[in-house]
Structure 1
Amino acid sequence: MEIFESPIYKDDIGRRTFLEIPFDARERFCKPKGTIYVSGTINGTPYRSKLLSRGGGKFLMVLDKALQKSLGFEGQTMNAHVTMSSEELEPAGKKREEPVAVSSGMDVLAAIKTRQSIRKFASRPVGDDMVTTILCCGMYAPTAKNKHPCHFIVIRNKQLLAELASQNSQAAMLESAAGAIVICGDKNIEGMKEFLYADCAAATQNILLGIHGLGLGGVWCGVALNSDWRKRMIAALELPAKLEPVAVIAFGWPEEEKELRDRWEPEKIHYDKW
């Protein structure tokens, strides 16, 4: 790990914010070619990024808006205390082995039309293979600019589920659920909040459909931005500053049946203009 002091500043036209790297990163990190990915902290705030070469052994790192905000950077040059390590990537051409998924016989269109929010669960446990399949569904959701900022916190601890349930009446079903998945967005990877929330919402919907397709029940619990529940959740899960909890999904074997409602509303369809 490299530890150094370096200035943070905007470029001449004020479009991008940089951190100067005071050493030859290729030589120091033993990366003779290719992109250099790094991670560490800036003034105690964690980050993950890549370095830009300016030639002659000089490198810069671009700071996105979310990281700038976390650091309190307002456009004026500021000095920063930096820790930095290089990140090893998968060797070129090597494919990570995906876990074997549990199959579902439900048609995707049927799953979309018949999925319901389930808030009552049986005490029967849900197998790890099913949970892994559900998580895989979330990871296959569309993502802006192919950044994949989503992280998934799986909660199976009954005491923690009960604690989160007691702190939010709208999430009371967590106490009886077999588990919960907290979908978080990494602000260091996706700096635009609109895209961060959209990516997490897409992953949430995929997870809900995966849950339903496996015969389980699930419900989406929203996480209000400035709520006490969000603050307590961050503390309980020990989430780093870069992770934004966006949604919580309670899941388990359903212990209720709901009547399907007609949701077709043609009056809300508009062609070419309002």
Structure 2
Amino acid sequence: MDTLEAIFSRRSTRHYQNGDVSPSELDTLLRAGMAAPSAGNQQVWHFVVIDERRILDKIPDIHPYSKMLKEAPMAIMVCADTSAETKPGYWIQDCAAASQNILLAAEALGLGACWLGLHPREERKKGISQLLNLPANISPLSLIAIGKKGEVKPPAGRYLESHIHKNGWQV
């Protein structure tokens, strides 16, 4: 799939068909995440692959908008080792870029994906950290549900000319 086609056709998928994500597809998703830019090339991100049904089914108790995980065969949590930062605070941008790369790679592979925000909701971060036994220096940013699309949505068409400003803020 062409890059621009993936960008413009990508939508959040909340319903999934039966079927697993192949090891090759998972490898591509993780490589895409790690291909993202990072501040000072610090690459403090880590990726937790969750494919155990017992864990996926517990996450909606922590994250109120994650019920699609009961259908999705897997999820990838994008997080950072904040103790390894050389550019403090930029882990959020780095992990956000990695998350977007994973979403676009999923679309290019014909898979469905949905970004579930963990940061900055402390109750979600604490709950997922406990569930996944994360060390104190690991800070979760997002959880991405992934699977075979069980729904097809048209492009969103979010372009708004009124949100474009040239050479400063002018109305």
Specify if TM > 0.5: yes
> What code does the residue aligned with 1:208 have?
L
CA shift at 1:259, angstroms? 2.3
Aligned to 2:88: 192
Aligned to 2:54: 159
Answering whether residue 124 of structure 2 is matched by residue 246 of structure 1, we say no
Answering whether residue 158 of structure 2 is matched by residue 263 of structure 1, we say yes
d(CA) in 1 for partners of 2:108 and 2:43? 23
Aligned to 1:117: 12
**Gap runs ≥5 in structure 2:** none
Which is worse superposed, 221-230 or 243-252?
Answer: 221-230
Report the aligned-residue RMSD: 1.2
| Higher Cα radius of gyration | 1
Which is worse superposed, 221-230 or 184-193?
Answer: 221-230
Aligned with residue 231 of structure 1, among 104, 107, 126: 126
For residues 14-49 of structure 1, give each alpha carbon's deviation from its aligned partner in whole angstroms, at most 9, with x where no partner exists: xxxxxxxxxxxxxxxxxxxxxxxxxxxxxxxxxxxx
Answering whether residue 71 of structure 2 is matched by residue 176 of structure 1, we say yes
d(CA) in 1 for partners of 2:150 and 2:104? 18
TM-score by length of 2: 0.94
d(CA) in 2 for partners of 1:207 and 1:124? 19
**Gap runs ≥5 in structure 1:** 1-105
Kindly report which structure 2 residues correspond to 1:192-231, keeping only aligned pairs within 5 A, or say none: 192-193=88-89, 195-231=90-126
Kindly report which structure 2 residues correspond to 1:84-123, keeping only aligned pairs within 5 A, or say none: 106-123=1-18
For this pair of structures, how many residues does the alignment match?
168
The structure richer in strand per residue is: 1
Secondary structure, aligned partner of 1:249:
strand
CA shift at 1:226, angstroms? 4.4
The structure richer in helix per residue is: 2
Secondary structure, aligned partner of 2:83:
coil
